[in-house]
Homo-oligomer: A and B are copies of this chain.
Amino acid sequence: MRSTILVNEAHVIALAKAEAINRSSAKKLLRALRKLGKQMTLREGYEDVHVMIEECVTREVGSMIGGSLHIGKSRNDQVATAIRITLREEMLKLSNHLLTLENSLLNLAERHTRTVFPGYTHLQPAQPITFAHYLIANGDSILRDEQRVIEAFSRINKSPMGSAALAGTSFNIDRRLIAQLLGFNGLVENSLDAIESRDFILETLSICCMTALDLSRIAQDIIFYSCADVDLLELPDEYSSTSSIMPQKKNPDPMELLRAKSARMIGNYTTAAATLHALPSGYNLDLQEITPLLWHSLDTLRSCIAMLNALLPKLNPKPCVENQMEFTATTEIANILARDEGIPFREAHRITGRLVKEALEKEKKLRDLKRQDWEKNIRRKLKSQTMKNIGRALDMRRHIYAYRTEGSSNPKQTDRMLSERKKLVRSCKERNQLTQAQLARSLEKLRHAYLFTSKNARYRSHVNRESLICDPS
């Protein structure tokens, strides 16, 4: 709605420049449009808003002038432009929401850079990591999603206006002027492409879907980690429903909702893709039906991010999980036997396996095994250093310092990664603010743009784009 009015304002200025309408008519039209803009509410029913605007304006300025609003444009280019105006703002908002989510993850991670947590594969505890490492991993996928949002933004922020129904128009409309007035960074140049292409919608739906799937993984993890049997995370009471009769039972309601809602994104993408599949060239009314999917996916994704964002700061790992994690040390023990004792790697594997099996059968803890037990099993004397290292590996809080690779779960790596990511988030937020400010400035300018009324005789030849616009002062 608001977008469509803006499109009309910019178009009026271009019509005046093209001398398709005179200055006085242009001014009246602008005034009527701005009056209308103040009365109305945002975003909805795009495809029907056009007639409405023309009618309202006509009521204001008379049918003679009002009718000229339609010169050199069509519902087709107007709809495409209005969607892009609204969508580019939504994309910036989405980017900001994702950066805020990333911040939530990083803030939580900062409190848990030394908090031991089991790393799972195949839903089985495999190796000790830190909770921070887990959170950064998930954050990194969010950062890639955010990157895609920004890349799509640059394809969205192009102007179709001036394409009219599909072929362009014989009025001398300055398309670049309109684009600039509306804050676009260029044209969707070919007029047929400009009115028929909706790949930017599909791309956005796909980004929403990918992001939602990343969130669904976090939701699934939280549900699993907080279930009574696994008991790694404590759900905050506000974000879980308890039964009055079963106070030990906390249902992870918002995460279940997030999990379900993220599936909706797949369906929205599928619907849009099936709609566009084998649709003939040119504008077809089918296109109208995919726009609501766009807003739906964006709204749903926003609510999913909000649910997670609200929960994260209150999410805490249960203390002492390391007691249950002893067997996740086996990989490192085999590494030690290979490195310190020169035992061939595959054999070190086999030995460790045998030891674990024995401990399981005797219902013993590995850390309760004596040096003799190890030596008997390995069939050789062990260095003292080896035993020390094994002891360290079995102590989860020290274990994690053994990791030496870049990006590993070693707390020193975590500290570095955290600070780099915090910096990245800050710079991305600044970039967004800059872009938003530019857009706002363009539209602000447009909102106050007046046409020169001077009887500038040389107008036709010397006018440049900038001269058409000035602050009302």
Contact = CB atoms under 8 A, between A and B. Distances in A.
Interface stretch (A332-340, A374-382, A458-466): A332-340
A323 interface: no
Contact of A192 (B133, B196, B214, B345): B133
Nearest to A358: B247
A185 to B, nearest CB: 14
Which 5 A-B pairs have CB atoms at the shortest separation, nearest pair first? A168-B408, A267-B271, A67-B346, A260-B289, A137-B192
A140 B190 contact: yes
Interface in A246-292: 246-253, 256-257, 259-264, 266-290
A103 to B, nearest CB: 17
A274 B282 contact: no
A413 B417 CA distance: 51
Nearest to A175: B406
B281 A249 contact: no
B250 A124 contact: yes
Given A63-B346, A129-B192, A274-B274, 17 more contacts: A67-B345, A71-B345, A119-B282, A123-B284, A128-B167, A137-B196, A140-B190, A163-B405, A168-B408, A175-B407, A217-B276, A246-B330, A247-B353, A253-B285, A257-B289, A259-B278, A277-B278
A278 B349 contact: no
Contacts of A284: 121-123, 256
Given A247-B357, A404-B168, A278 B216 contact: yes
The majority secondary structure among interface residues of chain A is helix
A419 B404 CA distance: 54
Contacts of A311: none
A213 B277 contact: yes
Count of chain copies: 4
Interface string A32-71: 0000000000000000000000000000000110011011
Given A227-B123, A285-B253, A199 B214 contact: yes
Nearest to A273: B266
17 contacts: A63-B344, A123-B224, A125-B228, A127-B167, A138-B193, A148-B151, A162-B405, A171-B335, A171-B404, A175-B407, A191-B407, A202-B213, A224-B224, A246-B353, A256-B286, A259-B278, A260-B287
B172 A404 contact: yes
B121 A279 contact: no
A122 B196 CA distance: 11
B407 A245 contact: no
A253 B353 CA distance: 20
Given A263-B274, A278-B219, A407-B194, A332 B170 contact: yes
Q: Which residue among A123, A164, A165, A224 has the maximum number of chain B CB atoms within 10 Å of its CB?
A: A123
Contacts of A256: 122, 284-286
Contacts of A129: 166-167, 192
Contact of A167 (B63, B188, B280, B409): B409
A228 B279 CA distance: 18
A306 interface: no
Contacts of A245: 330-331, 334, 349-350, 352-353
Interface stretch (A203-211, A433-441, A447-455): A203-211
Contacts of A70: 345-346
A122 B217 contact: no
B253 A405 contact: no
A471 interface: no
Contacts of A119: 165-167, 192, 282
B244 A349 contact: yes
Contacts of A163: 405, 407-408
A76 interface: yes
A381 to B, nearest CB: 21
Contacts of A239: none
A223 interface: yes
Interface in A302-354: 324, 327, 330-332, 334-336, 338-339, 344-347, 349-350, 352-353
